[in-house]
Chain A
Amino acid sequence: MTELRRTLARQRYLLDYTVASMSRRRTRNLGLLLVYVGMVFLLASVLFYSSALKHEAGLLLAEAPDIVVQRMVAGRHALIPAQHAESLRGIRGVRVVEGRLWGYHYDPAVRANYTLLVPPADDVEPGTAVIGPALARARGAGIGDVLSFRGQDGTLHPFRIAAILPQESALASADLFLVAESDFRALFGIPEGQYTDIALQIPNPREERTVAEKVLEALPDSRPILRAEMLRTYDAVFDWRSALVLLPLSGALLAFAILAWEKASGLSADERREIGILKAVGWETGDILSMKFWEGGLLSLLAFLFGTAAAYWHVFGLSAPLLAPVMQGWSVLYPDFRLTPAIDATQLLALFCLTVLPYLAATLVPVWRAAVTDPDEVMR
């Protein structure tokens, strides 16, 4: 028999013994596995969800203007006059300058804010609206139905639903209400020649900062916002939300760590005796460590696999019902959407290292201490 075959056979024996040993302590191991899976599930869910939301936000912002210019009055966002757009057209490096009209409308019927927006092409007929899927769902509205809003002057403005935005774009469009420019101005009382903000397209990304500086020079009362800054803000918001979820979980994490440590460090008298017997019949320290390594490895790998698989299904299959209210809530009308699976391999590796490796270490250290002691002493 070659040395390799002997080594493989030896590892197989150790693995067989480990499985038998685990099944002998079935109740305890199942309990531990359950708690372990639960922890990995929660951590992985938060990780997957925030990662996927950041990914969605990135996709969303890929369509956003390179710079948005807002007018500030007394530190507050104010309407920006169309003349400001003319001043921006002269800045080198700016290709498109476009005034935008958008705002929020509170609907007491569903106690939710809608995002009202004039589409860039202004292709919505006056008196009609194109609405987002969540809004349609909340109001029970279909194509041809009429929704009326009370405007700034107290008059009712009826809108006939011309179309409902497709479900695929739900994250971006869930609470959208697209209207014609004339209707928007009438509803909110915004005079001609005034816009909510101005969008700039900059073909060369390296010029964005320079253009922003020139915008400030040309319009000292303005605030240019770069797309990269918005992306960073989204990241920060989702990271903050993740931390918000993880903070209460830290107690559970600590409890798990204590459980794992107690289980691992406090070898029971039975386990110590078993290690002593195995050593007495000729097992080496390395064999016992291998056996315990298999045991800890099997348990933690199973927990990692079940936990991450369940988290994947929870986040991408069920749209994270346990996390959505905390993690997603920037709007009252939650979009009914399924996140595109977006998993960061580095984060997954970090999760693996945080859950599997400490457990293995906590299992192996006390076993190693028992295994290097004389068998007679271990069994006493």
Chain B
Amino acid sequence: MDATCPSCGAGLETSLACGACGVLMLTDDAACPFAVFGLEPGFDVDLKELKVRLRRFTRLVHPDFFALEGEQALAKAERNNALLNAAYGVLADEVRRAERLVESLGGPTEKELGSMPQAFLMEVMEWNETLEEASPGSTGWLELERDLTEHRDRISTEIGAALTPLPQPGAESLTGIRQSLNARRYVDRALGRIAASAGPS
């Protein structure tokens, strides 16, 4: 990132605070999660590095370090730390990260795309039937779980490939990515149902 601290002029690693002089920045509520983490927008994110940065940046913005600085500074720290945590939530989850990229490049939202193709919806209905009829742990159940996991991984690879390198703003390919993301939601929901009935109550 090229931004510099308005207070001391040092280069900024995160849009939330200056690592050199410690001053907190006032950023928009809808701060770009990539800017918050000092990363170039892109689908590939190193999760380990993300965690390291989360810890490093939390040290800059956590309210614990502003307890004696007065109400205003404390409120700013609360706000910036909340933004940091929200940005981490987006970047650490590949679906949310992809959705954010599609959105920022002007791609359609989930609602704008409209309903999924008929064939796909038929498939979803079949999954649900299996989940209702087969008992947890049975052959049919386990087969479905395996199929859905494969399906999910396939979609992930597709989305990743389509977003690397990032398409141009407004590119037609964004519609296809949005469709994959919507399909992924259905798959995740079904897998969630499987996990819920397998785990402890």
Q: Do A and B bind each other?
A: no
- A: residues with CB less than 8 A from B are none
Interface of B toward A, CB cutoff 8 Å: none
